[in-house]
């Protein structure tokens, strides 16, 4: 469960953000702050994973809080939710390591998409003790494989379904069998094999035989 705090001086906007959070599974609102002082107070006493931080607050700019949060609460991730369109505000936020920067008014679709992206990347990092370049590329969205278009794919391989298969493999350190992938995809064994073997062909994953059951070797697929 990801624990979230909303720091927003307009209580009506804070209520809207809270309603948006209810659309996302696996997150829990643990506090709301109306100003910078309350924000730092909540962070001091609560276990917080993600802070949704406004910039224009009555007692202190949210961007001025960033170095203090980084110093005192380095494990807290931050998404700026603000009306500030000045480039300097964005640059300051980026230099202080914010996860994302949302401009008001934020649509529900954009808000939910951003929180889901945060969840996905946090889970990806937590799945590995050591990182390699392919993991880093996936986290920062620089992998050429992530930008693959439908026209580049062979017949019978859908781009969105392929991404789902890739996400499943990335999350399962112990590998996945054809049968397990078929269940997670809601597809037949033949379809699951087609996608898995395609990923082997582009060196995204590798296949090994698991001899855990005597006489019944099973082909399993692992992230490269």
pLDDT category of residue 175 using cuts at 50, 70 and 90: confident
Torsion, Cα of 65, 70, 74, 77 (10° steps)? 60
CA dist., res. 110 & res. 118, Å (int)? 12
pLDDT category of residue 142 using cuts at 50, 70 and 90: low
Whether the pLDDT of residue 151 is over 60: the answer is yes
CA dist., res. 104 & res. 124, Å (int)? 28
CA dist., res. 69 & res. 166, Å (int)? 35
Q: CA torsion sign, 66 to 69 to 70 to 71?
A: positive
pLDDT at 213: 54
pLDDT at 221: 93
What confidence tens digit (pLDDT) does each residue in 55-105 have?
999 999 999 999 999 999 999 999 999 999 999 999 999 999 999 999 999
Whether the pLDDT of residue 177 is over 80: the answer is yes
- Cβ burial, residue 145 (10 Å; 0-12/13-18/19+): middle
CA dist., res. 5 & res. 65, Å (int)? 14
Q: Enumerate residues 6+ apart whose C-beta is below 8 A from 136.
A: 142
- Cβ burial, residue 154 (10 Å; 0-12/13-18/19+): exposed
What confidence tens digit (pLDDT) does each residue in 13-65 have?
999 999 999 999 999 999 999 999 999 999 999 999 999 999 999 999 999 99
pLDDT at 14: 97
How big, in percent rounded to 5, are the helix, strand and coil portions of the chain? Answer: 50, 20, 35
Domains of the chain: 2-126 (3.40.50.2300), 133-223 (1.10.10.10)
């Amino acid at each position: 469960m990801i624990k979230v705090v909303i720091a927003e001086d307009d209580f009506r906007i804070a209520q809207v953000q809270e309603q948006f959070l209810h659309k996302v599974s696996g997150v829990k609102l643990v506090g709301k702050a109306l100003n910078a002082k309350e924000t730092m107070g909540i962070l001091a006493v609560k276990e917080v994973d993600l802070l949704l931080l406004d910039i224009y607050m009555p007692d202190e700019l949210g961007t001025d809080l960033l170095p203090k949060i980084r110093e005192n609460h380095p494990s807290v991730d931050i998404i700026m939710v603000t009306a500030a369109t000045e480039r300097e505000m964005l640059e300051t936020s980026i230099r202080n390591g914010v996860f994302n920067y949302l401009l008001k008014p934020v649509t529900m679709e954009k808000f939910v998409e951003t929180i889901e992206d945060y969840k996905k990347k946090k889970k990806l990092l937590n799945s590995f003790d050591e990182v390699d370049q392919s993991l880093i590329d996936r986290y920062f969205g620089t992998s050429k494989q992530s930008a693959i278009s439908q026209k580049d794919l062979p017949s019978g391989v859908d781009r969105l379904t392929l991404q789902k298969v890739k996400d499943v493999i990335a999350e399962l350190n112990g590998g996945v069998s054809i049968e397990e992938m078929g269940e997670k995809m809601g597809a037949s064994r033949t379809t699951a094999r087609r996608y898995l073997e395609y990923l082997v062909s582009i060196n995204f994953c590798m296949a090994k035989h698991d001899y855990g059951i005597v006489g019944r070797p099973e082909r399993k697929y692992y992230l490269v």
